[in-house]
Structure 1
Amino acid sequence: MSVFGKIHLGYLVIETEKFADWRRFGRDAIGMHLDESCSDVLRFRLDDNTCRFLLRRGPAEDTTALGWEIDGHATFETIQARVRSHGVPMTEGTAEEAALRGVERFTRFPGPNGLAQEIYVNPRTGSERLRLGASGGFVTGPAGMGHVAIATKRPHEMRGYYSTVFDARLSDYIDETINGLKFKIRFLRVNERHHTVAIAATTRLPLNPIRTRIQHCNVQVGELQDMTMAYHRVKDLGFDIALSVGQHTNDKELSFYAVSPSGFEWEVGWNPIVVDESTWEPTTHQGISMWGHTPEGQDIVELLGRFKTGAQSVLHHEATVPALAGAGIADD
């Protein structure tokens, strides 16, 4: 049984010591609802769900888990059976952990690049009145809360993983040169959103210039003004802009990229296309942007740091889950 269309990106778990910076970034700059009702954690909401971003104290300064909302217990059990049939261990979340995430129950299992995967059913509704800085709200619903982009040295295995576990489908490719490195980016969808996981990999040397488990996460706002106002708030509050406002070649989303307090990038976007499954055909685009998305504020120290990270990654083992990657999926 295919589970495509019954999977939705539901939340991210982030480990950080920079709570004060994240309060300003998430609430004041991006415009999300801040919930500090639980001790020693921060939670951000985008909609009625209790939690879309769970921030816990720790030194990683990184995203540590992706939470996936599953439509119904039958689909939940189908995915559990898939994972277990390949000999991959699963751990049931405790009642306390589930409450922090605002879900009825969840199960955790390992994912590629050291990013844990958590599947859950029945998200809870937040008890506080929603307070957002985006007048048109954030777009979630059947398309999920947004997307993540992950840099990897093993793109075929990562694509195979999400296809095996979630029946992810290929939307398209982008070929791009970034800071002198040639990348091929694969865009995977699990529902009507053009992509929920983007997989970026260099085309020659097996290296990864990104320190964090995700390169960026994306949230979508309901009105163009909400995106442009968030851009100005980010700058006015002193947070770095990674890429200015621009429009992507493949999903046509207008967006900008800020640098989060933990170092990975945060894309705020508006009006991406919705995939029509009856007519969609994967294609390859040259370059990530039709216009805009120009780098802002990158200095030589930052660029050298990325080159150093990339060079060191050649010698470092990248966490994978071979049992769920099959033989990997080669490009067509």
Structure 2
Amino acid sequence: MNTTATPSVFGAVHLGYLVIETNRFADWRRFGTDAIGMHHDTLSRDLMRFRIDDHECRFLLQRGPAEDVVTLGWHIDDHESFEQIEARIRAHGVPCSAGTAEEAALRGVERFLRFPGPKGITQEIYTTPLKSAEPLKMLTSSFVTGDAGMGHVAITSTKPTHLRGFFHTVFDARLTDYIEETISGVKLKIRFLRVNERHHSIAIAAVRGLPIDPVRTRVQHLNVQAESLDDLARSYERVYELGFEMALSVGQHTNDKELSYYAVTPSGFEWETGWNPIVVDESTWEPSTHQGISIWGHKPVGQTIVDKLDQFRLGARSLVHPEKTVPALSGAGIPDD
């Protein structure tokens, strides 16, 4: 099936929720509420949620050993776009199935459809989020969601063109730009993909010339956007005061100009809290390549040579365990530099 012959769903797709599997519930509760400043709801011993706006659920945490993001939930604006996406998936022979009523309730949606995604991250789409009338109890005044979605995720990959092809085939994702960076002599190329006005909802990082993935988790980091600079500064301070590990200090990115810092979550992947990224103007935007991740800041905090060696140990392990892809949706022929 040639998806370019069908109407585009670009702009009707927004990152809506994430499902995280963890056994570290007490640490996650402290991290989410006391450090990042989100609203917390305990559902049971094995389930809890975080809210950052009027949606019932933005982060669903379920008990399990993965210590990782296991699912991305995508909010689709209308039933027509939802059906177009479902038709694309089925036309490529990829299995998809409806979630149960209980699963939908946990995610705070009326209904959803799931299908496999790259790196073993399940993808879910839905049209109708459930809203909560309960006032938010948060240390952060508010987060930016709306038309831009709830933030973004960054994924490291040994097969970046497959990932780019997947999100183009399924969601008509557009290339925003590239960043080339060298860290400790290792050259990285990062592709930034957007599905709406947010500069990127997906970032894909790859080691140039080496088929290794230096990150244990499926997702390298996730991002939420604070409403104010004061919110950003106060959450940064709380992360430090509560003793959570900081990965990168406050800095500003070269491409989206977002001011942010990176903390390490209880599950080991990173959490970027940002402020004031640019909004893409579709009428004028052209992809470009930036040299270096940051204009200033974003300095590693407390990283030692042992940490660097551990990264390469994990990278070597990735050679033994091939990266999962979804070949039928990986968009063979999608142009990529």
Q: Where on the TM-score scale, by shorter chain, does this alignment land: which range?
A: over 0.9
Aligned residue for 2:292? Answer: 287
TM-score normalised by the chain length of structure 1: 0.98
Aligned residue for 2:102? Answer: 96
Contact map agreement 2:191 2:204 (CA 8 A) in 1: yes
Please, what is the CA RMSD of the aligned residues? 1.0
Instruction: Find the partner of 1:83 among 82, 89, 99.
Output: 89
Contact map agreement 2:168 2:331 (CA 8 A) in 1: no
For residues 127 and 311 of structure 1, what CA distance do their matches in structure 2 show?
49
Note the C-alpha offset of 1:300.
2.8
Instruction: Find the partner of 2:113 among 107, 111, 118.
Output: 107
TM-score normalised by the chain length of structure 2: 0.97
Instruction: Find the partner of 2:184 among 179, 182, 191.
Output: 179
Contact map agreement 1:159 1:328 (CA 8 A) in 2: no
Contact map agreement 2:150 2:224 (CA 8 A) in 1: yes
Aligned residue for 1:214? Answer: 219
Note the C-alpha offset of 1:40.
2.1
Aligned residue for 2:26? Answer: 20
Note the C-alpha offset of 1:305.
1.2
For residues 27 and 154 of structure 1, what CA distance do their matches in structure 2 show?
35
For residues 141 and 148 of structure 1, what CA distance do their matches in structure 2 show?
17
* Structure 2 counterpart SS, 1:122: coil
Instruction: Find the partner of 1:116 among 119, 122, 144.
Output: 122
Aligned residue for 1:262? Answer: 267
Note the C-alpha offset of 1:326.
2.3
Note the C-alpha offset of 1:42.
1.0
The change in CA–CA distance for 1:328 and 1:227 in structure 2 (over 3 A counts) is farther
* Structure 2 counterpart SS, 1:104: coil
Superimposed CA distance per residue, residues 90-119 of structure 1 (whole angstroms, 9 cap, x where no aligned partner)? 011000000000001001000001111000
For residues 291 and 275 of structure 2, what CA distance do their matches in structure 1 show?
21
User: Aligned pairs, how many?
Assistant: 331
Instruction: Find the partner of 2:255 among 231, 250, 254.
Output: 250
Note the C-alpha offset of 1:306.
0.7
The one-letter code sitting in structure 1 at the alignment partner of 2:201 is: T
Aligned residue for 2:3? Answer: none
Note the C-alpha offset of 1:297.
1.3
Superimposed CA distance per residue, residues 154-203 of structure 1 (whole angstroms, 9 cap, x where no aligned partner)? 00011000000000000000001123311000000000000000000011
The one-letter code sitting in structure 1 at the alignment partner of 2:324 is: A
Note the C-alpha offset of 1:39.
5.0
* Structure 2 counterpart SS, 1:162: helix
Aligned residue for 1:237? Answer: 242
Note the C-alpha offset of 1:133.
1.1
Note the C-alpha offset of 1:68.
0.2
Structure 1 residue ranges, 4+ long, deviating more than 4 angstroms after superposition: none
Note the C-alpha offset of 1:303.
1.8
1:193-212 aligned at under 5 Å gives the runs 193-212=198-217
The change in CA–CA distance for 1:252 and 1:184 in structure 2 (over 3 A counts) is same
* Structure 1 counterpart SS, 2:19: strand
For residues 190 and 294 of structure 1, what CA distance do their matches in structure 2 show?
29
Q: Which runs of 5+ in 1 are unaligned?
A: none
**Percent of residue pairs identical:** 68
The one-letter code sitting in structure 2 at the alignment partner of 1:264 is: F
The one-letter code sitting in structure 2 at the alignment partner of 1:268 is: T
Aligned residue for 2:280? Answer: 275
